[in-house]
Copies of this chain bind each other. A is one copy, B any other.
Amino acid sequence: MDPETIDSLVTKNESKIIFFIMDGLGGLPRDPGGLTELETALTPNLDALAARSLCGLLDPVGYGITPGSGPAHFALFGYDPIKTNVGRGLLSAAGVDFPMTPKDLFARVNFATIDGDGVVTDRRAGRIDTETNRRICGKLKKGINLGGGVEFFIEPEKEHRALLVLRGEGLSDAISDSDPGVTGKKPLPPRPLNKEAEATAELVTKLLEQARHILSDEDRANMILLRGFARYQALPSLHERFGLKSLAIAEYPMYRGISRLLGMEVHPVTGSLEGQVTALGDRYDHHDFFFLHVKHTDSRGEDGDFEAKTAIIEEVDRLIPRIIDMNPSVLVVTGDHSTPAVMAAHSWHPVPVLLASRTARPDHVKRFGERDCICGGLGRMPMMHIMGLALAHAGRLSKFGA
């Protein structure tokens, strides 16, 4: 079933739906047969909630597929993560929460080192620090002038990475990468992949010449490599698809950007998990769908810090009663993907999920953990269908057929 099957069934009511997302929640035991981070954490509130919820496991994209944050969140919000194939440049723009407009063309930037002959000797410019990155972006912002009413933006990311944006009429993303992908070669000339892209290709060539000139006095980051050209792409919003007035309470740029891409209102950064929950309470009457995003479960997993990830989960558990007291029609607690500390990276493992609602049919699960969720009432299901299920439990889907 396509997740779009539900769109024509959507009706509105006064119900409230909360998605409480612990990024990278799913884990693995440190020792064979041991407990995962979630199973190790003391979570009396989540366990009590699981005991009266539908539990299960969600596959973000598919068997064996490790998702990036983009696809994982598209799936959470009811978008087929494989069909919702936005360009990498666009995800980068979302990743730095860049204020996009339909006139924008995005590309991913690597600062690189080239030698006197223009041959790339280091595709990461020796991983310059973010401070240097910012300084160099400033130089380029000042120096680049494309004319023809085309605006230029460059947003520093971490180390040697940045986002490049061109804003103007009729820009095309049918442009080949200038990044040769290996050292020992010169940057490739950006080629137009169709007739319409010729003007844009010339513009990008001009840009690269100016950049090389402006950066010629840099010892390491003396060139930029571009890849993943992507135009702004409007996705059907949560409001268009589900009639939901939605609020994202996420602290990190990537998740704020993805939320904006899906037409969600994005709450100002609060600076703490407690602040996020307070914000949810404050805004509770003004929206009907809430996306609360906890980043540090993923960060500690990426650090390979099992105890720290466990501690974040326990911190979340202590906040659960405040969420329950808001008495939402549907409360979904899950992750966007797994980030086992023992792997110190995202993984393909399914993510435990619980769905609390008055219409949740009881199952045998009494604890919120990976192995207990295996026999939950939701079974193991594609993540892209959890939104439809939440809408159904909120009474927001009408009958299919006579």
Contact = CB atoms under 8 A, between A and B. Distances in A.
Given A65-B9, A397-B66, A401-B70, A371 B379 contact: no
Interface string A346-371: 11110000000011011110000011
Interface in A25-51: 28-29, 32-34, 36, 51
A391 B71 CA distance: 20
Contacts of A381: 63, 380
A389 B350 CA distance: 12
So how many copies of this chain end up in the complex?
2
Contact of A402 (B92, B349, B362, B379): B92
A385 interface: yes
A252 to B, nearest CB: 14
A31 to B, nearest CB: 10
A82 interface: yes
Given A62-B385, A63-B389, A375 B377 contact: no
A57 interface: yes
Contacts of A52: 32-33
Nearest to A345: B399
Nearest to A86: B401
A5 interface: yes
A392 B66 contact: yes
A64 B392 contact: yes
Contacts of A379: 57, 374, 379-380
How many interface residues does chain A have, given as a range? 35 or more
Nearest to A95: B402
Interface string A192-212: 000000000000000000000
Contacts of A323: none
Interface string A63-98: 111111111100000000110000010011001000
Interface string A319-353: 00000000000000000000010010011110000
Nearest to A33: B362
A156 interface: no
Contacts of A82: 1, 5
A147 B296 CA distance: 76
A392 B33 contact: no
A346 B52 CA distance: 22
A139 B375 CA distance: 59
B81 A401 contact: yes
A66 B374 contact: no
A6 B375 CA distance: 27
A298 to B, nearest CB: 13
A101 interface: no
A1 B392 contact: no
A381 B64 CA distance: 12
A166 interface: no
A50 to B, nearest CB: 12
Contacts of A349: 359, 361
Contacts of A343: 359
A277 to B, nearest CB: 24
B36 A400 contact: no
A17 B363 CA distance: 31
B29 A388 contact: no
Given A67-B399, A343-B359, A374-B377, 4 more contacts: A33-B52, A63-B381, A64-B385, A66-B392
7 contacts: A62-B385, A63-B392, A66-B397, A66-B398, A70-B401, A70-B402, A364-B374
